[in-house]
Amino acid sequence: MKLKDKVAIITGGTKGIGLGCAKVFAKHGCTVVICSNDPGSGQEAEEQLKQADAKVRFIECDVKDEGQMTQLIEQTVQGFGQLDCIVNNAGWHPPAMTIDQISVADYESLLRLNLTSTFMGCKFSLPHLLKTKGSIINMSSEVALIGQGEAAGYVSSKAGQIGLTKALALDLAPKGVRVNAVCPAGVMTPLMQEWADTQYDPSAALEMVDSWHPIGRMAKIEEIGEVCAFLASSEASSITGQAICPDGGAALGYRR
Ligand SMILES: NC(=O)c1ccc[n+]([C@@H]2O[C@H](COP(=O)([O-])OP(=O)(O)OC[C@H]3O[C@@H](n4cnc5c(N)ncnc54)[C@H](O)[C@@H]3O)[C@@H](O)[C@H]2O)c1
Q: Does any ligand 1 atom lie closer than 6 A to the CB of residue 62? A: yes
207-246 exposure pattern, b = at least 16 Cβ within 10 A, e = fewer: eebeebbeeebbbebebbbbbbbbbbbeebeeebbbbbbb
The strand pair at 135-139 and 7-11 is best described as unpaired
Is 154 known to be catalytic?
yes
Average pLDDT, the chain: 97
Q: Which residues pair with 97 in a beta bridge?
A: 151
For helices 117-132 and 66-80, what crossing angle results, to 10°? Answer: 20
**pLDDT, tens digit, for every residue of 160-193?**
999 999 999 999 999 999 999 999 999 999 999 9
Q: Count of CB atoms within 10 A of residue 68's CB?
A: 16
Sign of the torsion angle spanned by Cα atoms 223, 225, 228, 229: negative
Give the orientation angle of helix 117-132 with respect to helix 152-172, to 10 degrees. Answer: 20
- Cα dihedral: 195, 146, 183, 118 (round 10): -80
CA of 12 to the centre of ligand 1 (A): 6
Mutate to test the pocket of ligand 1, among 191, 192, 197, 217 (most ligand atoms within 8 A of CB): 191
90 touches ligand 1 (CB under 6 Å): yes
Confirm or reject: Cβ of 184 under 6 Å from ligand 1. Answer: yes
Alpha-carbon 17 to chain mean position: 7
Residue 235: per-residue pLDDT: 98
Give 174 Cα–ligand 1 centroid separation in angstroms: 31
Structural domains of the chain ordered from first start: 7-249 (3.40.50.720)
Query: Whole-angstrom Cα distance, residue 184 to residue 172?
Result: 24
Q: What is the pLDDT of residue 36?
A: 98
d(C-alpha 13, C-alpha 11), whole Å: 5
Residue from 17, 119, 155, 158 to probe ligand 1 pocket by mutation (most atoms less than 8 Å from CB)? 17
1 CB-contact burial (10 Å; exposed 0-12 / middle 13-18 / buried 19+): exposed
pLDDT at residue 256 above 70?
no
Q: How far is CA 136 from CA 34, 35, 97, 144, 147, in A?
A: 15, 16, 31, 18, 24
Spatial distance between the Cα atoms of 35 and 14, rounded to a whole number of angstroms? 7
**Contact yes or no for 216/210 (Cβ under 8 A):** yes
Mutate to test the pocket of ligand 1, among 93, 113, 143, 145 (most ligand atoms within 8 A of CB): 93
> CB of 113 closer than 6 A to ligand 1?
yes
Buried/exposed code over 23-42 (b: 16+ C-beta within 10 A; e: otherwise): bbbbbbebbbbbbbbeeebb
Q: Is 123:153 a contact under the CB 8 Å cutoff?
A: no
Residue nearest to atom 38 of ligand 1 (CA): 12
Q: How many angstroms separate the first and last alpha carbons of the chain?
A: 39
The residue contributing the CA closest to ligand 1 atom 30 is: 62
For position 254, what pLDDT does the model report?
Answer: 55
- Residue 198: what pLDDT? 92
Report how far ligand 1's centroid is from the alpha carbon of 98 (Å): 22
Ligand 1 in reach of 192 Cβ (< 6 A) = yes
- Whether ligand 1 lies within 6 angstroms of the CB of 91 is answered as yes
For 108-140, how does the pLDDT look when each residue is reduced to its tens digit (9 = 90+)? Answer: 999 999 999 999 999 999 999 999 999 999 999
> In which band, very low, low, confident or very high, does the pLDDT at 58 lie, cut at 50, 70 and 90?
very high
